[in-house]
């Protein structure tokens, strides 16, 4: 049964990854290109100000066309398969252990938990950044803090589910869910408050400030706010699409696989082979 669930999860993840790639190629890629163009222009302006500095060299193993199409497509499909397998494993663990949820609602709830725990909550503390946003010297530290945020989010979400199950007999489903949710928000809020922020020199924000010369005149503008906004908006929308597609595609498959008639037939076949 678990192997069947994992196979279906991988298939749903591949389809969801393809849909997310199409969405990202249409909506997010233009803003990514604007960020790359800004980064190149800012480096050129900086080189003019720092006449003694060596020219900035920017080489790419693959062209932007390949990156935006083949690279992004293969990457998103592979990522979708990985998330689909992870989704199916969590689904198999939750099956029969989180109340009397039917296969379809359980699939949607697991997908919602995956989106919230693996992406949305970490995004609120460390949102996705396009090129030119964020200091290069702090990439390793930012990555470590982001992964720590993901780990805390997943662990606290699992503990919230466990707490809700423990409180259900005393407070009822609704009140137990509210109490568990409040505990999750409180715990994750403390972690967000403790983890460090990463800003540009002289600013509390990650976006580059205008580039100025010795006299204070602006030689290159700051990072466009609209590019950052839409990049992050479409990043969230893409992940929402991915997890929604996984949940909606997996739900009917799991329902058919786990229906009493199917389970009975599988048991009969197994007994006949035995």
Residue-wise pLDDT for 49-79, tens only, equals: 887 445 555 555 567 677 777 889 999 999 9
CA–CA dist 272, 24 (Å, integer): 49
Q: How many residues does the chain have?
A: 274
Intra-chain end-to-end CA distance of the chain, in Å: 17
Q: What pLDDT score does 233 carry?
A: 97
Helix, strand, coil abundance in the chain, percent, nearest 5 = 75, 0, 20
Residues of the chain short of pLDDT 70, as ranges, are: 52-62, 64, 199-205, 260-274
CB within 8 Å of 244: residues ≥ 6 apart: 111, 115
Burial of 209 (0-12, 13-18, 19+ CB in 10 A): middle
pLDDT in tens, 190-229: 999 999 887 655 554 678 888 888 888 888 998 999 999 9
Residue 117 CA: distances (Å) to CA of 124, 226, 238 = 11, 27, 15
Q: In angstroms, how far apart are the furthest CA atoms of the chain? A: 87
Q: Is the dihedral of CA 32, 124, 237, 73 positive or negative?
A: positive
Q: What pLDDT score does 57 carry?
A: 53
Q: What pLDDT score does 55 carry?
A: 52
CA–CA dist 39, 54 (Å, integer): 17
Q: Is the dihedral of CA 254, 260, 266, 271 positive or negative?
A: positive
Chain centroid to Cα 198, Å, comes to: 20
Q: What pLDDT score does 195 carry?
A: 93
Q: What pLDDT score does 268 carry?
A: 47
Return the bridge partners of 218, or none.
212
Q: Which residues of 188-199 are buried (b: 16+ CB within 10 A; e: fewer)?
A: beebbeeeeebe
pTM of the model: 0.86
C-beta separation of 10 from 206 below 8 A:
no
Q: What pLDDT score does 53 carry?
A: 47
CA–CA dist 90, 85 (Å, integer): 9
C-beta separation of 202 from 152 below 8 A:
no
């Amino acid at each position: 049964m678990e192997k069947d669930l994992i196979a279906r999860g991988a298939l749903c993840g591949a389809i969801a990854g393809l849909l997310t790639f199409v969405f990202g190629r249409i909506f997010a890629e233009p803003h990514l290109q604007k960020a790359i163009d800004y980064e190149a222009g800012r480096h050129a302006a900086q080189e003019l100000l720092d006449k003694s500095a060596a020219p900035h060299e920017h080489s790419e193993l693959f062209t932007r066309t390949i990156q935006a199409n083949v690279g992004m497509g293969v990457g998103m499909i592979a990522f979708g398969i990985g998330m689909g397998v992870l989704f199916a494993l969590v689904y198999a663990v939750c099956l029969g252990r989180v109340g009397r949820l039917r296969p379809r609602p359980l699939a949607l709830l697991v997908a919602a938990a995956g989106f919230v725990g693996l992406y949305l909550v970490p995004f609120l503390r460390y949102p996705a950044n396009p090129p030119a946003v964020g200091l290069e010297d702090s990439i390793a530290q930012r990555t470590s803090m982001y992964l720590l945020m993901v780990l805390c989010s997943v662990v606290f979400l699992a503990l919230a589910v466990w707490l809700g199950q423990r409180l259900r007999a005393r407070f009822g489903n609704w009140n137990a869910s509210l109490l568990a949710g409040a505990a999750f928000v409180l715990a994750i809020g403390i972690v967000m408050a403790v983890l460090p922020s990463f800003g540009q020199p002289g600013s509390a924000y990650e976006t580059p400030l205008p580039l100025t010369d010795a006299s204070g005149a602006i030689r290159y503008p700051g990072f466009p706010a609209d590019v950052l906004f839409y990049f992050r908006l479409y990043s969230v929308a893409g992940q929402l699409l991915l997890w929604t597609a996984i949940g909606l595609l997996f739900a009917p498959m799991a329902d058919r696989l786990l229906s009493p008639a199917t389970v009975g037939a599988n048991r009969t076949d197994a007994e006949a082979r035995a």
